[in-house]
Copies of this chain bind each other. A is one copy, B any other.
Amino acid sequence: MSVIRKGKETASEGKRKPQRVPSAAALNRRMRNSEKKRATILDAALSTFSKYGLHGASIDQIALQADVSKTNLFYYFSNKEELYVSVLRELLDLWLKPLRAFTVEQDPIEAIRDYVRVKLEFSRDHPAESRLFCMEVMQGAPLMLTELQQPLHDLVENKIEVIQTWIDQGKLAPVEPYHLVFSLWATTQHYADFRVQVEAVAGKTLEDPDFFQETLTSLETIILNGVRPR
């Protein structure tokens, strides 16, 4: 493990031994440029990996899209897998963020409303992230499992308690909290992950503001009220 982690930061560590001492400003500038390039590559990688998968995407493609040479790309990321894992790592934080918002103090109905909206916005604004995450998890998360399992489990454990408290307080109907969380994840991600299917069936995507609103309202209705007539 330490070997892998060592390799991962080689590029940035290489900058620590300049032949002569540059000004702080120059260092910052260089840093900024370097970071910018890394970010550009990561961006291209995300987009390409999400379209073709880890094996379907080639370094050539990614380098082309990031407008760097393949050799240059390997200067920043020492191999394909490191690049891929770097992309995933950034993803995980972003993906988990909305769930962190759940706290006992909130009104559960409002909390769920907010969550659905934020997740739908994520599906609309970050479809590549959503799909890559889905692909990785679906294949057993071989390169993310260790990083996924612990934080995910802890976070969800905590939110499950929050939901259970709401139920005990009579503010939410009695359902197994796990499955509420799964349903929220599943329904909101569906519009990003199955975008082509949604488009084939409904003829619209979340980028259409009317469709976005309609989706939001529908999901709220289904999850909060159900489809059984009252």
Contacts and interface: CB of A to CB of B under 8 A. Distances in A.
A190 interface: yes
* Total copies of the chain: 2
Contacts of A230: 173
A42 interface: no
Given A56-B55, A175-B218, A223-B222, A196 B145 contact: yes
Interface in A185-207: 185-187, 189-191, 193-194, 196-198, 200-202
A91 interface: no
Contact of A153 (B137, B149, B200, B222): B200
A227 interface: yes
A156 B198 CA distance: 11
B227 A224 contact: yes
A225 interface: yes
Among A170, A178, A180, max chain B CB count under 10 A is at A178
A101 interface: no
Q: In the complex, which range does the number of interface residues on chain A fall in?
A: 35 or more
A117 to B, nearest CB: 15
Interface in A135-158: 135, 137-141, 145, 148-149, 152-153, 156
A227 B173 CA distance: 5
A9 interface: no
23 contacts: A51-B140, A53-B56, A56-B139, A108-B227, A109-B228, A134-B194, A152-B200, A170-B229, A173-B225, A173-B226, A173-B227, A173-B228, A175-B221, A176-B217, A178-B201, A179-B218, A180-B222, A180-B227, A182-B201, A183-B218, A185-B194, A186-B190, A225-B228
Given A138-B194, A224-B226, 10 more contacts: A134-B193, A137-B193, A141-B196, A145-B200, A148-B200, A170-B229, A175-B218, A175-B221, A178-B201, A183-B190
